[in-house]
């Protein structure tokens, strides 16, 4: 349950911050959230096929959860979240 709440907070905070392209959201020690540039991360709206062409196979794939279905792929320093087949957001790790 904690992971789902954290994911929801990250996704909502990304929308509140204006969906900055190639940005991740980091949580600071005081609990506040801040956008962080994630170099090499795919932009929102790209397809899974585009991400595979651009970055190759991910280190890890996390299956769909919820409705609409949200899945994610992990690439070294960032995680890419998808809604259906499109990039929703990228989060720096």
For residue 11, give every residue at least 6 positions away whose Cβ sits within 8 Å of its Cβ, in sequence order, or none: 70, 81, 88, 89
22 against 88, higher pLDDT: 88
Across the range 69-93, mean pLDDT stands at: 92
Rounded to 5 degrees, φ, ψ at 75 are -130, 95
Per-residue pLDDT at 17 exceeds 50: no
- CA 44 from centroid of its chain's CA atoms: 9
Rounded to 5 degrees, φ, ψ at 10 are -65, -45
Share of the chain above pLDDT 70, in %: 61
56 against 10, higher pLDDT: 56
Q: Which CATH number fits domain 2-92: 2.70.98, 3.30.1450, 1.10.10, 3.40.50?
A: 3.30.1450
pLDDT digits (tens, 9 = 90+) for 32-55: 655 556 778 898 999 999 999 999
Q: Where are the domains of the chain?
A: 2-92
Share of the chain above pLDDT 90, in %: 46
Measure the CA angle with vertex 84, ends 28 and 86; round to 5°: 70
């Amino acid at each position: 349950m904690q992971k789902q709440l954290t994911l929801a907070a990250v996704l909502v905070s990304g929308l509140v911050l204006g969906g900055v392209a190639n940005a991740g959201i980091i949580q600071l020690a005081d609990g506040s959230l801040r956008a962080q540039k994630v170099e090499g991360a795919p932009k929102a709206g790209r397809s899974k096929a585009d991400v595979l062409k651009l970055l190759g196979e991910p280190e890890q794939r996390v299956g769909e959860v919820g409705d609409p279905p949200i899945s994610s792929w992990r690439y070294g320093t960032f995680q890419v979240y998808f809604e259906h087949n499109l990039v929703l957001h990228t989060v720096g790790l």
